Chain A
Amino acid sequence: MFRRGQSTATAYLFLAPFLISTAVFFFYAFARAIYYSFTDFNLFNNPSLIGVRPYTQVVDDPSFQRALANSLIFAVVTTTLQTIFALLMAVALNNKLRGMAFFRSAWYMPSITSSVVITLIFLWLFQQRGIANYLITQWQAYQPLVLTFLVGLVVAQVIQVLLERRSGLPARWTDPALAVVSALSSLAVTAGLVWAGVTGVREVPPFDYQYFADKWITLGGARVLSIPLLVVIIQNTFTTVPTLMLFFLAGLQNIPGALYEAADIDGATPFQKLMNVTVPNLRPVTFYVVTVGLIGTMQMFDQVAVIGSAAPQDTLITLAYYVYTNTFKAGAAPVNLAAAAAIILALIILVMVFVQRRFFPSEVR
């Protein structure tokens, strides 16, 4: 359209600020990090090359091994959880109902707030005498009532569905209209039983679990997942689900309605529709969501840094935090180790993305 030489010059002029800042703060920094990772740099000396020794040192460092394990477990668990929940919630939100805009905004709230704010709120919720433990205490206290209600609900539903089927109507076990009646009757029965003194609220001691302590879920003697990290997983799922949900929602709106109508004619249950229509059609979005999720979770830093000394370091240390602590260690900081760890972190992420692209290709649309 424009003359070629002029166009090239203009393009690079337009790109200049971006390219310069990327060159200085990204490529130069990247190159320097690689260089440092082969030296004995400690922030105060003149770096001299020492080969791959920093890498072997890092790999031998038990706290790096823990950080690596924590990061990988965190990334895999969180990405799985957030993808599944985001998909389910997008399916729920995709119904054309009044007031969906309100729900969408309400659900989006955790996504816009900063990770620092949410971590601080979660630290408060998960104190030894905090709201989380209070809710668990309440749940334990009300367990008899809840169980009575659930049993009543199931019994009433089974009876109703059997009656409907006898009169020739093709009622499903999950029929919503019957479930309303079942729920109401079960509620009445539970209230009656409470009044009669058959069941009631239990007396339970306050649940005093300490979340931010050196507690682990072990598998065959190996420490797999620490409880503090589990809390961070819950928190991270809570924050990222709404954003990812939006991606799925946008994808859902591109699925032709005819597919669902065809499934309806074939008599598919909602679950079958989800598994056979929705999920396959969302492959490209799922691919994107998983990639973004892995990149994001592998870099998890904010939560660990804010919790800091509130939990034992082994339970929460991630690769990103390992890099940070080694760079700013008091005295001579092993910056070469930090650089090596950072390079390893970058490689893991790049490999993850590459494997994803190579073996789970997004479908051609």
Chain B
Amino acid sequence: MTVLQAPNAPAPAARADDRWLARRRWARAGWLYAFMLVMSLFFLGPFLMGLLSSMKDDPNEYPPRLAIPQLSARYIGAAYNLGVQGGGDGWNGGLSPGRTVNFDVSVRSPQGAPQAPPTVALFPYQPVSLVSIARYAQARDFAQVQVTPTGSVGETRSYRITVRYPALTRQTGRVVTGQLTAPTDTLSARLENGQVVPVTLDTPEAQAVQFNLNQYQPVELVENGGRYYLRGPTFERTPLQVDVQRGQSLESSTLPPSDRQNFGRSLAYRNVTPGVLGYTFNNYRRAFNETTNPATGNSLFLKWVLNSFLYAFLRVIAAVVFCSLAGYALARLNFPGKNLVFIGAVLFAQMVPPQVNLISNYVLLKDLNLLNIWGLWFNGLVAAGGVFLMKQFFEGMPRELEESASIDGAGPFTTFWRVMLPQAGPALIALSITQFQGAWNDFFWPLIILRENTNFTLTVGLSNFRQLYGGQGDYGLILAGAILSAIPVIIIFVIFQRYFVDTGADSAVKG
């Protein structure tokens, strides 16, 4: 934008000129902002769309909607209430023994159509996951549903669906929760404090289900006089199906149906006791809960997250120590073979694709029994890129620092440790960030080296999600996992933004 020298006494024509230029300047800024916004939408759009859709019941719905019930205050409130009714917990929801849940639907039945109430039933929901997971008890086998009409306005009739889950014992006392342990001839449960107790089945109803319950099944027990009586299994979700008669249609319900089939007459509610987490963040909860490792009952997804953090942490530590040492030596010490080391081990190593080393490193690590996180770490112990970054940084530091240290009689190591490294804060942060990001997003080496699904890092685990449902992919799970795995890097980016911008660009342009 040109700057015009304003004359002392502006002639009317010049003033008009100025105004014209100013107008153009504003207009240009306006167009620029519009362009910036469009581009921001382009770059953030896929992520925002993914984030939004990760909360939907069906992320593949077509046409895609932006306004989704999972984010409306009314339905989040309803989900909270239903969670309180079913499990006493508005956040996690669920269905516990002894509870009753009321769910309202209203059905439009025009004149001439049957006026009969809808048929309702609970249906089984068994999570499908990449590993066979513990088969949990289903609400359908323990709870009863019942429909009562509650009134009518014009052609619309309202019904109340009541889900009743009677406790299996009539004992009263302190209610505790636990998980069933491996099946033996007697039923026993591990309480939240880790204590394993035998479970007493004191009613015929309780005895009838003792062989239907598997390991890891969450249960509620009543403690009375030192004995633990089974109150019943607890359920994470209560799937409900409502079928309206031919000619009728659903007008509204406490929560909108997750799925409509049979020309809108068969309505499935994936969970009528969701709680807020089970409703809005259902897919996120599934990512953790439905990837259970059958051997331990722990969440695989959680394990992958921890593995990713461990690997990234190890990489950062190694890089900070070894890359700064090597970078310093290359930048500041004179020794024979320096150029050879720089060109051969730093530049050349960065240019050769990792696929060349795949075979040898795989065989080597296999022979060393290191096909796990530690092998992964060894393989990427000192990144050539990190050495390059630190070399560039140390070269930019004033020589006087070292000279004065040298005059004071400090050796190279003391100089490095006491004088240079404390000055290298910004470079070390930049290095740590690139290494963290690199390790967190790394895919090629983890895919090759990690062979057990308990060893996976998040990227490898996520790519396995795609194989679910016969290669179709369960996109609710995939999107939730993708968003979750993006969060740590985004947080780090927001905090250390300046360093992201600093890392490569400057050294590339000036170096």
Contacts and interface: CB of A to CB of B under 8 A. Distances in A.
Interface of A: 1-2, 4, 6-8, 10-12, 14-15, 17-19, 21-22, 24-26, 28-30, 32-33, 36, 43, 89, 92, 95, 97, 99, 103-110, 112-118, 120-125, 127, 129-131, 134, 169, 175-180, 206, 238, 242-243, 246-247, 249-251, 254, 261, 264, 284-285, 288, 292, 295, 298-299, 301-302, 305-306, 308-310, 319-320, 323-324, 327-328, 335, 338-339, 342-343, 345-346, 349-350, 353
A254 B511 CA distance: 13
Contacts of A242: 43
Interface string B254-280: 000000000000000000000000000
B384 A106 contact: no
A220 B355 CA distance: 33
Contact-size category for B: 35 or more
A179 B321 CA distance: 57
A238 B44 CA distance: 10
B411 A2 contact: yes
Contact of B43 (A28, A106, A127): A106
A18 B39 contact: no
What 4 pairs across the A-B complex have the smallest Cβ distances? A114-B441, A29-B360, A29-B357, A14-B329
B114 interface: no
B116 interface: no
- Most central of A22, A92, A306 by chain B CB within 10 Å: A22
Given A18-B345, A177-B27, A103 B359 contact: no
A17 B325 contact: yes
Nearest to B509: A250
Nearest to B507: A250
Given A18-B326, A264-B2, A305 B493 contact: no
Interface string B28-61: 1111110110011001101101100100000110
Given A107-B40, A114-B485, 20 more contacts: A7-B335, A11-B329, A19-B341, A21-B378, A97-B32, A110-B47, A116-B441, A116-B485, A121-B46, A125-B46, A134-B63, A134-B64, A175-B24, A246-B501, A247-B504, A250-B508, A261-B2, A305-B463, A308-B466, A353-B351
Interface of B: 2, 20, 23-24, 26-33, 35-36, 39-40, 43-44, 46-47, 49-50, 53, 59-60, 62-64, 321-323, 325-326, 328-330, 333-336, 338, 341, 345, 349-364, 378-379, 381-382, 384, 387, 402-403, 406, 411-413, 416, 437, 440-441, 443-444, 447-448, 459, 462-463, 465-466, 471, 473, 475, 478-479, 482, 485-486, 489-490, 493-494, 497, 500-501, 504-506, 508-509
Contacts of B508: 247, 250, 285, 288, 292
Contacts of A12: 329, 335
Contacts of A107: 39-40, 43
A65 B471 CA distance: 27
Contacts of A19: 326, 341, 345
B489 A342 contact: no
A310 B345 contact: no
Contacts, number: 303
Contacts of A15: 325-326, 329-330, 341
Contacts of B466: 120, 123, 306, 308, 310
Given A17-B322, A17-B326, A115-B441, A11 B351 contact: no
A134 B459 CA distance: 28
10 contacts: A7-B412, A109-B493, A116-B485, A123-B473, A177-B20, A177-B27, A251-B509, A288-B508, A298-B353, A299-B353
B31 A25 contact: no
A307 B415 CA distance: 51
